[in-house]
Amino acid sequence: MRQEMEDAISVKPRLFQVSSQMLVNDHVNENGKQSLAHFFAVYDGHGGLQVANYCQERLHSKLIEEIETAQSTSAETNGRGDWQDQWKKAFINCFQKMDDDVGGIGASNRGNNSGGSESNIKTVAPETAGSTAVVAILSQTHIIVANCGDSRTVLYRGKEAMPLSSDHKPNREDEWARIEAAGGRVIHWKGYRVLGVLAMSRSIGDRYLKPWVIPEPEVNIVRREKNDECLILASDGLWDVMTNEEACEVANKRILLWHKKFGDNGPTGRSEGADPAAQSAAEYLTKLAIHRGSQDNISVIVIDLKAQRKIKRKP
């Protein structure tokens, strides 16, 4: 992983146990089984550090609360209902509550319930501060990605780069239509921007641009396969100067190079699950993007999806 300036990243290995009912529709033989899930996220802040830092500190905890609620609901209904919809609802509720907290809405409700006044409400960030949020949950069987904004997750499967998120840009046809339907405008000023200001159409925060900029994430779920090589989460500072295919190829090559160089005897550096080979790949991608003249913050997480790598070495 590599973090820059207003960005924040979050890596939480073995964050929580997810029940089988959140990973399959047919769980006749799956009830009671649990799978460890790992959490990864990139938050690209703008207008200040506050929202990105708040997400880094709290979003994973908020998500666990929503997942636990979904799992208890699933248990009560004996697993009836679509498990993918449960993930989508959990993420949508999580991101909305984070947005409410940032805007002081959660504090407002608590204050009103306790007789507090509006003047006592503390907001986390200025109304012009916001952040993207791209989150990947990794279980033994699935990759679940939620994205809000223009950070991106890409999976390298075999020799194919598969984007697992779609950038929320104001000139995306459906986003443009949504913004105009809400009474807003997309204006071209050094690129397409909401009201000529913000270069993304979804984010957490940015109170001054509501209701046109929304915190609702899009959620994508894929089953893991044996030929999955690596997963990249990065802010747009990387994708501005590099294609999905190139980033995946470079990352995978750096992981292989690290293993060829150090093998099983190299420096492990595995503090809290850190993978030195993937770390090397993330740092290399960041340096390459800077070398190519990227003008934006660059934060990169690379995840090696191979449990073991068989490296052929010269004797």
DSSP 191-246: SEEETTTBS-SB-EE-GGGTTTSB-PPEEEEEE--TTEEEEEEE-HHHHTTS-HHH
pLDDT at 271 over 50: no
Nearest Cα to 83, choosing from 41, 16, 130, 144? Answer: 144
Q: What local confidence, expressed as pLDDT, does residue 124 receive?
A: 85
List, in sequence order, every residue forming a beta bridge with 157; answer none if it has no partner.
160, 228
Instruction: Report whether the peptide linkage leading into residue 211 is cis, meaning its omega lies within 30 degrees of zero.
Output: yes
pLDDT of residue 79: 56
Q: Which helix (H) or strand (E) holds 31?
A: none
Nearest by Cα to 83 from 240, 221, 192, 185: 221
The string of DSSP letters for 37-90 reads: EEEEEEEEEESSSHHHHHHHHHHHHHHHHHHHHHHHHHHHTTT-S-HHHHHHHH
Over 50: is that where the pLDDT of 127 sits? yes
Give the pLDDT mean for 304-310.
82
Residues of the chain above pLDDT 70, percent: 83
At 53 the pLDDT is 96
Q: What 3-state DSSP class applies to 110?
A: helix
With residue 109 as reference, give the H or E element that holds it.
helix 105-113
pLDDT at 221: 97
Q: What is the pLDDT of residues 181-203, one digit of tens each?
A: 999 999 999 999 999 999 999 99
**Total number of residues shown for the chain:** 315
Specify the pLDDT at position 68.
92
CA distances in angstroms from 24 to 33, 143, 202, 272, 276, listed in the order given: 11, 13, 30, 29, 33
Q: How confident is the model at residue 32 (pLDDT cuts 50, 70, 90)?
A: low
Q: Which residue has the tokens 């934060």?
A: 299
- Where exactly are the structural domains of the chain? 7-106+125-168+203-266+273-304
Per-residue pLDDT for 155 more than 90? yes
Q: According to the model, what pLDDT value does residue 308 have?
A: 74
Provide the pLDDT confidence category of residue 63 given band limits of 50, 70 and 90.
very high
- pLDDT given at position 276: 94
Condensed to tens digits (0 to 9), the pLDDT of residues 87-125 reads 999 999 999 999 999 988 765 454 444 443 343 456 789
Whether the per-residue pLDDT at 301 is higher than 70: the answer is: yes
pLDDT tops 50 at residue 31: yes
Q: Which fold has domain 7-106+125-168+203-266+273-304?
A: Phosphatase 2c; domain 1 (3.60.40)
- The contacts of residue 39 (CB under 8 Å, 6+ apart) are 10, 11, 12, 13, 15, 16, 60, 63, 135, 136, 137, 138
- Say what the pTM is: 0.89
30 in Cβ contact with 58 (< 8 Å): no
The arithmetic mean of pLDDT across residues 225-245, rounded, is 97
Mean pLDDT of 217-241: 97
Q: Which of 306, 134, 304, 138 is nearest to 222 (CA)?
A: 138
φ, ψ dihedrals at 132, nearest 5°? -75, 170
Which token pair is 1? 């992983």
